[in-house]
Amino acid sequence: MNYKKTKYTCYYTNLAMSSAFSLPPILFLTFHNTYGISYTLLGTLVLTNFCTQLIIDLVFTFFAKHFNIHKTLKLMPLLTSIGLAIYALAPTFFPEKAFSGLFIGTVVFSVSAGLCEVLVSPTIAALPSDNPERDMSKLHSLYAYGVVGVVLLSSLFFKLFGTENWMYLTLFFAFLPIIACILYCTSPLPDLNFSHDHAKSDVGKKSKGILLCVACIFFGSAAENTMTNWISSYMENALGISKAIGDVLGLALFGILLGLGRSLYSKYGKNIANVLLSGMIGATACYIISGTVSNPLVCMLACIFTGLCTSMLWPGTLILMEEKFPNPGVTAYALMAAGGDFGGSVSPQLLGIVVDKVSVSSFALELSNSVNLTPEQIGLKTGMLIASIFPILGIIVLLYMKNYFRKQKNK
């Protein structure tokens, strides 16, 4: 069968799904100013997003035989559309219950995101190909470039129509996954094998090494997703940069470097352990600079280059696991996905809590008079500084892992 259309449908799906991840952070400050939603509650939306995905990853992996795989793949994009529609319309019609509408919408499109994580990559892997590694790399790179498209289109929209009309932009992005649903319904789909007969034995024999990889992807995901979810609000509020410039020069360039790092590794990369260690060290430096330096340009560059530093931390940890444990089994991949989703949920939530607590503290009020920053700006910078703990712990884990695997090789 000719699966060319199926391959491009998967590519398009990742592009369309990127809006469900990248659009909400762009709107956080609008929600904060329009509906009075606290930074802690905004962080809760991020936590809800990743925790929902985590649950779907685990449930669908262990109980895949109870699902009709092809029907689920076809209906998956519709859940994204429904979730984004709720996200846009509920706060518009019920502004006094805005957070409830945003929460429900987040849960719905996060279910779809979890299914996408479970189904789209295996679909690409199951298609006949002369170069399956390139196809998989392109799939994950397109997500990062999709983020760039969302940022540029959003910036143009807000420039022309204002942030108060955010719901119309959200409805536009809600329409795009419907096209993916139609494409899946008209494309041939391969059979997907979710068998994991040897998974438990593989994990049991090599549990310590795989759990170290889970810890590594946890800290790597935390380092990436903290900046992904807060860069827009940080640059606009903490650095005093306009929303249009902050989104285009901040989140868009972050996404470009995120995709570029993955593309470059797929073509030239080797020695993944050193790449991961360098990425953790670079991310640590970027967060510390963002939290301590007062120069807006320097802080903006630090935020942007976090994208390059963190680009391989999630996919690179999977490569490292596959390198150390060939054919690790589906259970191992489920644990890795769970670790990554958990890291991506904990860190943005922590930053939101730190911002709210520090902003109203006497420490911030006293410091604001001497450093020419508002208490909220001090809170955001403190949050960035606290977030550096994740890549710092990632460095420690990676150094231990290198020593551990060296000893295992000598044995």
3-state secondary structure the chain: CCCHHHHHHHHHHHHHHHHHHHHHHHHHHHHHHHHCCCHHHHHHHHHHHHHHHHHHHHHHHHCHHHCCHHHHHHHHHHHHHHHHHHHHHHHHHCHHHHHHHHHHHHHHHHHHHHHHHHHHHHHHHHCCCCCHHHHHHHHHHHHHHHHHHHHHHHHHHHHHHCHHHHHHHHHHHHHHHHHHHHHHHCCCCCCCCCCCCCHHHHHHHCHHHHHHHHHHHHHHHHHHHHHHHHHHHHHHHHCCCCHHHHHHHHHHHHHHHHHHHHHHHHHHCCCHHHHHHHHHHHHHHHHHHHHHCCCHHHHHHHHHHHHHHHCCHHHHHHHHHHHHCCCCCHHHHHHHHHHHHHHHHHHHHHHHHHHHHHHCCHHHHHHHHHHCCCHHHHHHHHHHHHHCHHHHHHHHHHHHHHHHHHHHHHC
216 touches 397 (CB < 8 A) = yes
How far apart are alpha carbons 280 and 287 in whole angstroms? 11
Kindly report the number of other CB atoms within 10 A of residue 147's CB atom. 27
Residue 119 pLDDT level (bands cut at 50, 70, 90): confident
pLDDT for position 105:
94
The mean pLDDT of 258-287, rounded to a whole number, is 90
Residue 174 confidence (pLDDT)? 94
Using the predicted structure, report yes or no on whether residue 200 has a pLDDT greater than 60: no
What is the pTM for the complete model shown?
0.78
**280 and 391 in contact (C-beta within 8 Å)?**
yes
In this prediction, residue 358 carries a pLDDT of 92
Residues 6+ apart with CB under 8 A from 191: 126
Window from 179-183, 224-228, 335-339 with minimum mean pLDDT: 335-339
pLDDT value of position 208 = 86
State how far the Cα of 400 lies from the Cα of 277, in Å rounded to an integer.
Answer: 11
Specify the pLDDT at position 243. Answer: 67
Instruction: Give the separation between CA 77 and CA 169, rounded to whole angstroms.
Output: 18
Please compute the mean of the pLDDT values over residues 85-111 and round it to a whole number.
92
Kindly state the average pLDDT of the residues 133-157: 81
More confident of the two residues 243 and 40: 40
Range with the poorest average pLDDT among 104-108, 261-265, 281-285, 382-386: 261-265
Q: What is the pLDDT of residue 1?
A: 66
Give the domains, in start order, of the chain with CATH numbers. Answer: 1-189 (1.20.1250.20), 198-411 (1.20.1250.20)
Mean pLDDT of the chain: 85
- Stretch 48-63: mean pLDDT, rounded? 80
Mean pLDDT of all residues in 83-102: 92
Residue 284 has pLDDT above 90, yes or no: yes
By percentage, how much of the chain surpasses pLDDT 90?
38
Residues 310-333 as b/e (b if ≥16 CB within 10 A, e otherwise) read bbbbbbbbbbbbeebbeebbbbbb
So what's the pLDDT on residue 197?
44
Average pLDDT over residues 29-45: 87
Best CA proximity match to 153, nearest among 164, 138, 166: 166
Length of the chain: 411
Q: Which two tokens stand for residue 12?
A: 């398009």
